[in-house]
Amino acid sequence: MFHLIGAIIIGGIAGALAKLLMPGKDPGGCIITIILGIIGAVVATFLGRMLGLYGPGQSAGFIGAVVGAVIVLGVYRMIVGRRSL
């Protein structure tokens, strides 16, 4: 239970920081930011494990979560941007 709450908090902060690092219009509010941050942390953990940076029981840290959130935000903008055209 604590890991889930921690992931939501870290994900929210990482998502907000990702939006600050990638300024521009985003069709989403606070909930989308938190979701993108959480997904970013999961993506960073998955990529880190594939590259051998993290072991089976480890997860991405805060910086990895921010990098993952930036990647997810970029993909989100590409997908949503295509729909609005």
Q: What pLDDT does residue 27 have?
A: 65
> Domain tally for the chain?
1
Q: Measured at the alpha carbon of residue 64, what is the angle toward residues 63 and 67, in degrees to the nearest 5?
A: 90
What is the domain extent for residue 26? 2-84
Token representation of residue 76: 């989100």
Chain-wide mean pLDDT for the chain?
Answer: 77
* Distance between CA atoms of residues 49 and 39, nearest Å: 15
> What are the pLDDT digits (tens) for 64-81?
888 888 888 888 888 877
With a CB cutoff of 8 Å and minimum separation 6, the contacts of 83 are none
Q: What pLDDT does residue 68 have?
A: 84
Q: Please, what are the averages of pLDDT over each run of 10 residues along the chain (85 residues)?
A: 67 82 72 79 81 77 83 83 63
